[in-house]
Amino acid sequence: MTPEELQRKLQSSFTDMDEIPLFKDNLNARARGEFLFKWTVRFSAFTAVFIMSLLLYRVLQDGLPWLSFDFLNRFPSRLPERAGIKSALYGSCYIIVLTTIFSVSIGVAAALYLEEIAKKNRLSQFIEVNIANLAGVPSLVYGILGLAVFVRYLDFGRSVLAAAATLALMILPVIIITSREALRTVPNGIRMAALALGATPWQTIWSHVLPAALPNILTGVILALSRALGEAAPLIIVGGVTYIAFIPESLFDSFTTMPIQIFNWAGRPQVEFQGIAAAGIIVMLLLVLTTNAFAIILRNKFSQKSRW
Amino acid sequence: MSDLNQNSNANQSVLSALDVSLAYDQRTIVKNVTLNLDPNSITSLIGPSGCGKSTLLRTFNRMNDFIPAFRKTSGFIKYRNLDIYGDDVDPVFIRRRVGMVFQKPNPFPSSIAKNITWGPSINGFQGDFDELVEISLKRAALWDEVKDKLHSSGLALSGGQQQRLCIARAIAMDPDVILMDEPCSALDPASTAKIEELMSELKERYSILIVTHNMQQAARASDHTALMYHGELVEFGSTRQIFNSPKNKVTEDYIMGRFG
Amino acid sequence: MSNLRTANIEAKDARIKVRWIEFTIVRSLMICALISVVTTLAIVVILAKESSGFFQEVSIYSFLAGLEWNPLIEPRQFGVIPLVLGTLLVSVGACIIAIPIGLGTAIYLSEYASQKTRQWLKPTIELLAGVPSVVFGYFAVTSITPLLQSVFPSTEIFNAASAAIVLSFMVLPTITSLSDDALSAVPRSLREGGYALAATKREVSLGILLPAATSGILAACILGFSRAIGETMAVALAAGSTPNLSLNPLQSAQTMTGYIVQVSMGDTPHGSVEYQSIFAVAALLFLMTFSLNVFSQSILKRLQKSYD
């Protein structure tokens, strides 16, 4: 029975509803519209999944034949069959470790100050707006900043140190913002309890508030670091080179990273280098996506648990 | 055809629940309730909070469809003679005829006129929209207060006015029944009095089923009263009978204020 | 008695020491928070100072209004309009693709998807946001461009369309998750009000939720657009490096970010005009994204107030 038929049937049984033809519900057409709309939004929701799978499929298909243990253990080369990602892999790892040290110490400290210590006055409000704006500055502009300040003014040169400092500045706003959100989820009762036992504000923060917020802070930090790991633009400006046949040994050595190396390979005309680029992408994605997924899972887990 | 017109007796009730049980997941909320609503009358559904009265109310226009855990475990809900939960029934069809006013006023964040015309326009209203706005607002006793600012935001009205706007919005659909879910719980006494007065005017045209927490309101405003307790319908009868000579001990205790 | 006295003095000493430690810690935390302000200042100062050198050689007017960008070969021309046009072509194109899909996804997530679907679909979309930019560039060059070429044979190897498509994948997560937040923030009572007036899900979504969430969605789109403008590596790989004063998406185009990367990869000497030009372009880029971000934040702030 279609809705229209139902309506006719019903109307015949109503005595007091003769005036109803004021409405033409047109339920069939609306149900069709609803059906169409539902499938449209469902389809668009799955485009992201589709793109993600297509991308992974493409990269695996192109890259797996080139991927080997030797690939990880060779330096870049003009010849595709002898090219490897060793220097880029080490470069990325060294830089990310340094970036972590710089950005986490400064970022969490800044978040603690803004969330736990600073009074809500104009200065802290200004800092807050300022951090939100910094989070939206394109990564490339941080590269320019790094070039001017670290490479030239502080004379670090085009080095590992300059690269790490630049990336640290780039992810600092994100780390501060997520750490503050993490601190905000710590219930006030914990602070009050510690203060009531005679602890100083800093003792309270250090031994109670910070541990409680740690899982969520960690999630934000990991997400930010995985972004830094895949970022090439600012490092190219700071001076990442693509042909490096050694592993950096000091903070002032020149460097290359995986995304820079991949960018270089992908831009070359020879087809073989596309495969090499794909192999490099697999290595990088393995690092980036696993850390990313780890962070997302960590957050989902704790966001369910931490409803106090 | 036959099953719709067969029973002339059932034709008289606008809404009926026959042996209805409702549950959220495994937890039964309403147990075997049977209830008939007369046309052009006000029926109030009273009972302590958590007794299932709102859940029951929301089955009459299938608003519970949006709660994933909700299930109807037994019985029939009928509008006129149509099984509301029948397989081939479009809930949209039911909601056009069974309107609803909620606990908290919820006007759309748009103009007063738009609040009223939105529902009818998507449901293919054929008449004149300006006339519709005027008639609905007049019936909801709001016209005089807002006639000069029909195009300003509905959110700028006071709480009582907002609730009357929501009633006007429901009236504009020309429904058969209006369900009210504690419509006065968020309002001050003056606005409450206004809405009660309005209800007794509205019953000339519509049947009203109202859930209320407030026993004085049920006694003042309704023709019939049903008391629910722990998901069961304890007693149902004319308001006068329920309040003056309750047959059931629970009813007596409740209206005497011994619990609730 | 004297015991109590010495104990008191000792306690006092300890308290002074604690207070001094507290003071130092709080100060150093504050310095960390101020680093963000210093960063902003440094960005502004460096961009202004370095591009002022450029503007001594090239007038601001001929930079902003010039129709020819030819920085490397004599006669050199520094009219930025082709770069801006390339940037807008690619990022507007990306938004035209990403906004409908993102909105559809957001509506699906907030209105149609079951709790279970939501639980895995949302993280998957977030994972797309974690894929590094170079990977998308690789995907554009190896997959999207060949596809475009098979449909439109006149497509150049590097073209704006491919860059726009891949950029739309990159901003999709931003637009989706912010729009989803905006839709979810619409109170449930409004949805119920709509359904009680015999509306279908489509009618409630389009007629009530979208209008109610307009400002949040607008902010999401602006932020997505600003991300697209600042995006670098994918665009540099896919769009090519020929500045073009044309709106043909099948032709090669150069964006502002693409130009900065191109110059940084090359061996341009310090102090030369083309080297300084990257600062001028970066300054313009910074101004564009900064004003878009401020705009979207002011919308969000107003939104927050209206829900309080």
- Which tokens go with B110? 């748009």
Q: Which one of C29, C36, C290 has the shortest CB-CB distance to A172?
A: C36
* A17-36 tens-digit pLDDT: 444 457 887 888 889 999 99
Q: Backbone dihedral region of B179: left (phi > 0), alpha (psi from -120 to 50 degrees) or beta? A: beta
Q: Long-range CB contacts (< 8 A, 24+ apart) of A63-69? A: A63/A275, A63/A277, A63/A278, A63/A279, A63/A280, A63/A281, A63/A282, A64/A279, A64/A282, A65/A275, A66/A275, A66/A276, A66/A278, A66/A279, A67/A279, A67/A282, A67/A283
- What amino acid is encoded at B86 in this protein? G
CB contact under 8 A, B88 and A6: yes
Whether A218 has its CB under 8 Å from any CB of chain C: the answer is: no
- Look at residue A308 in the predicted model and tell me its pLDDT: 39
Q: From CA C260, how far away is CA C274, in angstroms rounded?
A: 10
pLDDT above 70 as % of chain A: 90
Helix (H, G, I), strand (E, B) or coil at B19: strand
What residues of A are in contact with residue C293 (Cβ under 8 Å)?
132-133, 136
Tokens 């409680």 appear where? A212
Neighbours of C127 (CB within 10 A): 18
| Cα-Cα end-to-end distance for chain B | 45
Say yes or no: domain C69-307 is CATH 3.40.50.170: no
- Structural domain tally of chain B? 1
| DSSP string for residues in A187-213 | -HHHHHHHHHTT--HHHHIIIIIHHHH
Per-residue confidence (pLDDT) for residue A64, from 0 to 100? 84
Does the residue B185 lie in any domain? yes
- Looking at the predicted structure, is the pLDDT value of residue B38 above 90? no
Helical ranges in chain A per DSSP H: 3-13, 27-63, 69-72, 86-112, 122-135, 139-146, 160-184, 188-196, 201-204, 210-230, 233-238, 258-266, 271-305
Closest by Cα among A206, A207, A142, A209 to A174: A142
Nearest to C292 by CA among C176, C127, C171: C171
User: Which residues of chain C have a pLDDT value below 50?
Assistant: 308
Residues A49-53, mean pLDDT to the nearest whole number: 92
Q: Do A9 and B4 touch (CB under 8 A)?
A: yes
Do the beta carbons of residue C215 and residue C299 sit within 8 Å? yes
Helix axes A160-184, A122-135, angle to 10 degrees: 120
The residue range of the domain holding A13 is 3-66
pLDDT band at A307 (very low <50, low <70, confident <90, very high): very low
State mean pLDDT over A54-67. 88
Mean pLDDT of B229-248: 89
Same-domain status, A86 and A187 = yes
Q: What residues of chain A have any CB closer than 8 angstroms to a CB in chain B?
A: 1-3, 6-7, 9-10, 12-14, 16-17, 19-27, 30-31
* List of residues 6+ apart from B50 with CB closer than 8 A: none
User: How big is the CA angle at A246 (ends A242 and A249), to the nearest 5 degrees?
Assistant: 115
Maximum C-alpha span of chain C: 100
Contacts of C109 in chain A (CB under 8 A): 45
Helix (H) or strand (E) holding B78: strand B70-79
What is the C-alpha separation between C54 and B242, in angstroms, rounded? Answer: 90
- Alpha-carbon gap: B76 to the closest alpha carbon of chain A (Å): 17
C134, A41: Cβ pair inside 8 Å? no
Element (DSSP H or E) covering residue B54: helix B53-59
The DSSP code for B79 is E
Which residues of B are less than 8 Å from C208 in CB distance? 108, 118
Task: List CB contacts of C22: < 8 A, sequence separation 6 or more.
Answer: A200, A201, A202
Whether B243 has a pLDDT exceeding 70, the answer reads: yes
Tell me how close the Cα of A17 comes to any Cα of chain B, in angstroms: 8
- The DSSP string of C90-126 is HHHHHHHHHHHHHHHHHHIIIIIS-HHHHHHHHHHHH
In a domain, B260, yes or no: no
Asked whether the beta carbons of residue B119 and residue C195 sit closer than 8 angstroms, the reply is: no
Cβ distance B205 to A17 under 8 Å? no
Q: How confident is the model at residue A73 (pLDDT cuts 50, 70, 90)?
A: confident
Does A16 have pLDDT greater than 60? no
| Residues A55 and A79 both lie in one domain | no
Q: Best mutation site among A141, A149, A169 for testing chain C: the one with the most C CBs within 10 Å?
A: A141
- End-to-end CA, chain C: 59
The per-residue pLDDT for C222 is 92
For residue C2, the model assigns a pLDDT of: 61
Q: pLDDT at residue A53 above 80?
A: yes
Phi, psi dihedral angles at B33 (to 5 degrees): -90, 135
Q: Which of B184, B178, B211, B181 is nearest to B196 (CA)?
A: B184
* A46 in the same domain as A98: no
CATH number at residue B73: 3.40.50.300
Shared domain for A30 and A83, answered yes or no, is no
Question: What whole-number distance in Å separates Cα of residue A142 and Cα of residue A112?
Answer: 24
* CB-CB contact of A25 with B93 (8 Å): yes
Domain spans of chain C, in order of start: 2-57, 69-307
Give the integer Cα–Cα distance in Å for B127 and C91: 46
> CATH code at A82?
1.10.3720.10
pTM: 0.86
Relative orientation angle of helices C2-57 and A122-135, to the nearest 10 degrees: 50
The 10s digit of each residue's pLDDT in A106-131 is: 999 999 988 888 888 888 888 888 89
Residue B184 or C102, more confident: C102
* Contact at CB, B99 and C191, closer than 8 angstroms: no
Cβ-defined contact of B174 to A31 (cutoff 8 Å): no
Asked if C198 and B169 come within 8 Å (Cβ–Cβ), the reply is no
> What are the beta bridge partners of residue C70?
C77
Q: Is the pLDDT of residue A173 over 90?
A: yes
For residue C248, the one-letter residue type is: N
Question: Do A193 and A256 belong together in one domain?
Answer: yes
User: Please, what is the average pLDDT of chain A?
Assistant: 83
Same-domain pairing of A195 and A212: yes
Q: How many helices (H) and strands (E) does chain C have?
A: 14, 2
Of A25, A37, A237, the CB nearest to C264: A237
With contact defined as 3+ CB pairs under 8 Å, the chains touching C are A, B
- The token pair at B162 is 């907002």
Residues near B231 by beta carbon (within 8 Å), at least 6 away in sequence:
B28, B29, B30, B31, B51, B52
* Average pLDDT for B27-41: 90
**Closest-CA distance of chain A to residue B103, Å:** 27
Residues A42, A107, single domain; the answer is no
What is the spatial distance between Cα A136 and Cα C289, in angstroms, rounded to a whole number?
A: 7
Give the strands of the sheet with B70-79, arranged side by side.
Answer: B27-37, B15-24, B70-79, B82-83
Q: Are residues A23 and A84 in the same domain?
A: no
The 10s digit of each residue's pLDDT in A207-249 is 888 888 888 888 889 888 988 988 888 998 888 776 777 777 7
The answer to the question of residue B53 being in a domain is yes
pLDDT at res. C209: 93
Under the banding of pLDDT at 50, 70 and 90, the label for residue A14 is: very low
Q: Could you report the per-residue pLDDT of B131-173, keeping only the tens digit for each?
A: 899 989 988 888 999 989 999 998 999 988 999 999 999 989 8
Give chain A's domain count: 2
Q: What is the rounded radius of gyration, in angstroms, for the C-alpha atoms of chain A?
A: 28
Cα B8 to Cα B14: distance, rounded to the nearest angstrom: 12
> Distance between CA atoms of A6 and C15, rounded to whole angstroms?
83
* Contact between C71 and C78 (Cβ < 8 Å): yes
**pLDDT given for residue B3 in this prediction:** 41
Contact C130 A227 (CB under 8 A): yes
How confident is the prediction for chain B on average, in pLDDT?
Answer: 87
Per-residue pLDDT band at A103 (split at 50, 70, 90) = very high
For residue B161, tell me if it sits in a domain: yes
Residue-wise pLDDT tens digits, C270-284: 778 888 888 999 999
| B178: nearest CA partner in chain C | C196
The partner residue sitting opposite C198, judged by closest CB among B68, B96, B110, is B96
